[in-house]
Chains A and B, each alone.
Chain A
Amino acid sequence: MRVRTILLTVAAALSTAALACFAASAIAAPDTPDPVADAKAFRKYFTDKFPKVKLEDFVNGPYSMNEDMRKQWKEKEEFPPYEFALDAGKEMFSKPFKDGKTYADCFPNGGIGIRQNYPYFDEKEGKVITLELAINRCREANGEAPYSYVKDEMASLTAYMAFTSRGKPMDIKIPNDPRALAAYENGKRYFYTRRGQLNFSCASCHVQSAGEHIRAEVLAPALGIMNALPIYRSEWGGMGTTSRRLVSCNSQTRAVPLEPQSDEYRDVEYFLSYVANGLPISGPGSRP
């Protein structure tokens, strides 16, 4: 029993000391979130840090940061391995449900060229709705079983829908609704919160160390990081959804992942997409 008490007192003493010294230095940040100012500052951080990278190129992640990686990417883009997932997605998209309807009936503009508007804040439900969630809601509304958020079917479908929006600027709206602002802030908090035994936040890698190597991989900048999703990863040998990417990032920092499409994941996608407004959709992307 003695061990535990020593442990607790030492840890507690250290953290109170730490807290004390922070209190002095923390500037009284304004409490009401200001997404417009955040987005401007977010973009400025990356354009200042990487002046040679063209704004719209940030969406190409590691390939906007490293020439050797970019060359390998360009060679694969000649005839990308995600062709098969794209074709499968297109076929699935037009295959009617048992009740005769198709995805086109669920989505504005028949689901074509609309990926840049996702995720959006649903004022009736008071929650963020991502493209993956909307697809499963459409399936359930038409008597079909929902797809897994981390498996091939969802990846192929979202790949096809992303492909129909390629080049269109990300266009995420935050309606004048305190719950929308709260969701945005919740996403921002998740993005900067350290987690897992490695004690990393998303920002530790994608803001502080963007462009640097972590083993063989080059870390993608956070600006526009959602624009390329879903991604075909050589690591996975297949197309992976946004949910799968977030879950695998969590486990890499040794944090236990949450349920796919949990509020935190939906909100962080909302935050990251909003601050990338104006940057082009480049999904489906291919990555290491």
Chain B
Amino acid sequence: MASTIRVRASNSGDTTEVQALIQHPMDSGYVKDAKGQVIPPHFIQQLTFEHNGKAVFLADWGPAVAKDPYVKFSFKGAGKGDDLKISWVDNKGATDAITAKIQ
């Protein structure tokens, strides 16, 4: 199954800019479906970015984060070709992870 995580990590000099787009419904639990049933909450709670085993960014998300969530940040201390590990876990315990190469 293709990964749910799309990442773009580009390095210039000492700074690496990271953009991530994740395929996830991020249901808040406040929305009803066509038949009037409440769609239960289903959202990513933690998203972690790690470089050389060290966390460079950690997101704690609630149901107010948009569907197919996106985040952008930058960090220092990585170079082109390094690995960047991205993983998330949602409130149902589902997870996905991917290791991307910094360009």
Contact = CB atoms under 8 A, between A and B. Distances in A.
Interface of A: 78-79, 81, 83-84, 87, 234, 237
Nearest to B69: A81
Given A78-B19, A79-B21, A81-B21, A87 B2 contact: yes
A41 B82 CA distance: 57
Contact of A237 (B6, B8, B67): B67
Nearest to A78: B19
CB-based closest 4 A-B pairs: A81-B68, A79-B21, A237-B67, A84-B23
Contacts of A237: 67
Contacts, number: 19
A234 B2 CA distance: 23
Contact of A83 (B6, B66, B67, B72): B6
SS class, residues of chain B in contact with chain A: strand
A79 B23 contact: no
Contact of A79 (B19, B66, B67): B19
A237 B27 CA distance: 11
B70 A79 contact: yes
Interface string B7-32: 01000000000010101000000000
Interface of B: 2, 6, 8, 19, 21, 23, 66-68, 70, 72
B22 to A, nearest CB: 10
Nearest to B21: A79
14 contacts: A78-B72, A79-B6, A79-B8, A79-B70, A79-B72, A81-B21, A81-B67, A81-B68, A81-B70, A83-B6, A83-B21, A84-B23, A84-B68, A234-B66
A237 B39 CA distance: 14
Nearest to B25: A237
A237 B25 CA distance: 9
A84 B4 CA distance: 9
Nearest to B68: A81
A78 B23 CA distance: 16
B34 to A, nearest CB: 13
B88 to A, nearest CB: 15
Residue from A79, A81, A87, A234 having most chain B Cβ neighbours under 10 A: A79
Nearest to B67: A237
Nearest to A84: B23
Contacts of B6: 79, 83
Nearest to B71: A79
Contacts of B19: 78-79
A87 B68 CA distance: 14
A237 B69 CA distance: 11
A78 B8 CA distance: 11
A237 B6 CA distance: 18
B66 to A, nearest CB: 8
Given A79-B6, A79-B70, A87-B2, 16 more contacts: A78-B19, A78-B72, A79-B8, A79-B19, A79-B21, A79-B72, A81-B21, A81-B67, A81-B68, A81-B70, A83-B6, A83-B21, A84-B23, A84-B68, A234-B66, A237-B67
